[in-house]
């Protein structure tokens, strides 16, 4: 495991604990049902796998395909606590509730193994899901918060999952849209931008606030993001440990959120000012596909090249730890005791722990590390020669929005990765390929 020691004495590195598999199809999404300690994994083959985690070495696994006919690209655990700031008591709203987003554009609400409701309205792949608490919830006498969904159709939708009604549409985003509900009741959306002259432009972050008199969300702030498509959003807890790097505003109620992008960075933003307060720059600038708040004030990201990176605010250009996988890492999920699960293109879910007593066998660890090393090698000249030439990209049509394809460039001296823009019908160059890990 590749490790950097910027927090030396304080950070305990992660080690591989378990490797889980079901249908061997690429794992595209994860979520953790905290109360029941169940890890859910959505596959590219439309299979949903439930792993019941426990204190013993055995893990119960069962699968279901109820309602899904396409890749499960987003998963969201049900809200496990109240957003009432007047009480310190967490209320378990519904321990077995969770939501899936699918490539067919349908959002599905489950309770345990039962499909409760289908939410239809998106016309393309559902890329993002989140909850938001607001006065709309109280106005409609809902027990559950509102559900947010973002899609490749350039639209964010707000749902009442108790009735199945779409209560509002947030339109006109630049292609793929990701969503996040903040503790303040505001909504953040991010876009992938539009293709123009072989470049991605007009990527934006938007912040929406509820107009109580209209009971509708209105756009209150637009933040240009000029360096690449926004792939994911997450909330960042405001903590006193950030004081020494001026993360906090005078307003203690302000929220922080993070974005990740194809530009190889994770950026932390203040929702009130719209200012970027911190930037984590990943070595070699790979496409960062997901970001989440980790334990003990860390931030965790996953990359198209297959890296799981753990960051702290004391160093922005050197992660605490990088764990290479053999293939693309679509996302990660935080488990009990600060453990981390990863969703990999190779069909495996892996769990990493900081408890050495939970380490996997030496043979399993050796196999995993060898896979990561193989994936970290750049493409050979023979492999590059087999790729389509960049000059002929017009005759190589992409199959879906966001598809990544390798091309040879500069007379075959290097390989580049390009991303397909369905709207403009063109390939957008992302950068040179320094790894042969899966680019699907």
Are 187 and 136 in contact by the 8 Å Cβ rule? The answer is no
| CA–CA separation, 220 and 279 (whole Å) | 24
Instruction: Count CB-CB contacts under 10 A for residue 183.
Output: 17
| CA–CA separation, 163 and 160 (whole Å) | 6
Residue 110, SS3 per DSSP: strand
Condensed to tens digits (0 to 9), the pLDDT of residues 331-363 reads 999 999 899 999 999 999 999 999 999 999 999
Q: Is residue 242's pLDDT more than 70?
A: no
Residue 38, SS3 per DSSP: strand
Which CATH architecture is the domain 15-80+94-239+252-372 placed in? 7 Propeller (2.130)
- State the number of CA atoms in the 13 A half-sphere of 304 facing the CB: 30
Token readout for 339 is 């453990």
What percentage of residues in the chain have a pLDDT greater than 70?
84
More confident residue, 143 or 119: 119
Token readout for 1 is 């495991």
What's the confidence (pLDDT) of residue 135? Answer: 65
Condensed to tens digits (0 to 9), the pLDDT of residues 115-132 reads 999 999 999 999 999 999
Condensed to tens digits (0 to 9), the pLDDT of residues 293-302 reads 999 889 999 9
Condensed to tens digits (0 to 9), the pLDDT of residues 282-329 reads 988 888 999 999 998 899 999 999 999 999 887 667 899 999 999 999
Q: Domain locations in the chain?
A: 15-80+94-239+252-372, 381-433
Residue 143 DSSP label: S
Average pLDDT for 167-181: 92
Token readout for 94 is 């519904």
Q: Which helix H or strand E contains 136, and what residues bound it?
A: helix 135-139
Condensed to tens digits (0 to 9), the pLDDT of residues 69-117 reads 889 999 999 986 555 434 344 444 577 899 999 999 999 999 988 999 9
Mean residue pLDDT of the chain comes to: 84
Are 179 and 168 in contact by the 8 Å Cβ rule? The answer is no
């Amino acid at each position: 495991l590749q490790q950097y020691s910027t927090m030396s004495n304080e950070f305990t590195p992660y080690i591989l604990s378990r490797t889980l598999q079901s249908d061997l199809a690429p794992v595209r999404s994860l979520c953790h049902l905290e109360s029941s300690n169940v890890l859910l994994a959505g596959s590219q083959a439309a299979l949903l796998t439930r792993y019941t985690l426990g204190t013993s070495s055995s893990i119960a696994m069962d699968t279901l395909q109820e309602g899904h006919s396409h890749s499960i690209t987003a998963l969201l655990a049900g809200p496990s606590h109240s957003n009432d700031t007047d009480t310190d008591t967490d209320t378990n709203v519904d321990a077995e509730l969770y939501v899936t987003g699918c490539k067919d554009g349908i959002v599905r609400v489950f309770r345990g193994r039962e499909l409760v409701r289908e939410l239809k309205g998106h016309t393309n792949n559902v890329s993002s899901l989140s909850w938001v608490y607001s006065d709309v919830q109280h106005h409609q006498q809902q027990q559950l918060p509102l559900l947010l969904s973002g899609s490749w159709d350039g639209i964010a939708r707000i749902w009442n999952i108790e009735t199945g009604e779409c209560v509002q549409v947030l339109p006109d985003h630049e292609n793929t849209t990701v969503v996040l509900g903040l503790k303040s009741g505001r909504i953040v959306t991010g876009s992938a931008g539009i293709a123009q002259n072989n470049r991605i432009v007009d990527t934006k972050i938007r912040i929406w606030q509820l107009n109580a008199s209209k009971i509708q969300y209105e756009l209150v702030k637009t933040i240009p993001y000029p360096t690449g498509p926004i792939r994911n959003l997450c909330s960042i807890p405001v903590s006193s440990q950030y004081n020494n790097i001026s993360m906090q505003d005078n307003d203690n109620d302000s929220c922080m959120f993070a974005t990740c992008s194809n530009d190889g960075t994770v950026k932390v933003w203040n929702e009130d000012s719209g200012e970027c307060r911190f930037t984590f720059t990943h070595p070699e600038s790979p496409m960062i596909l997901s970001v989440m708040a980790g334990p003990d004030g860390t931030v965790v990201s996953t990359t198209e090249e297959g890296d799981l990176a753990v960051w702290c605010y004391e160093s922005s250009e050197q992660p605490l730890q990088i764990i290479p996988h053999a293939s693309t890492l679509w996302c990660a999920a935080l488990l009990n005791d600060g453990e981390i699960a990863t969703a990999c293109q190779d069909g495996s879910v892996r769990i990493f722990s900081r408890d050495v007593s939970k380490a996997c066998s030496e043979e399993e660890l050796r196999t995993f590390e060898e896979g990561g090393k193989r994936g970290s090698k750049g493409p050979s000249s023979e492999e590059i020669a087999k790729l389509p030439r960049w000059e002929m990209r017009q005759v190589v049509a992409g199959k879906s929005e966001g598809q990544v394809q390798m091309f040879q460039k500069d007379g075959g001296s290097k390989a580049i990765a390009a991303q397909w823009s369905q709207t403009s019908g063109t390939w957008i160059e992302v950068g040179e390929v320094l790894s042969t890990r899966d680019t699907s």
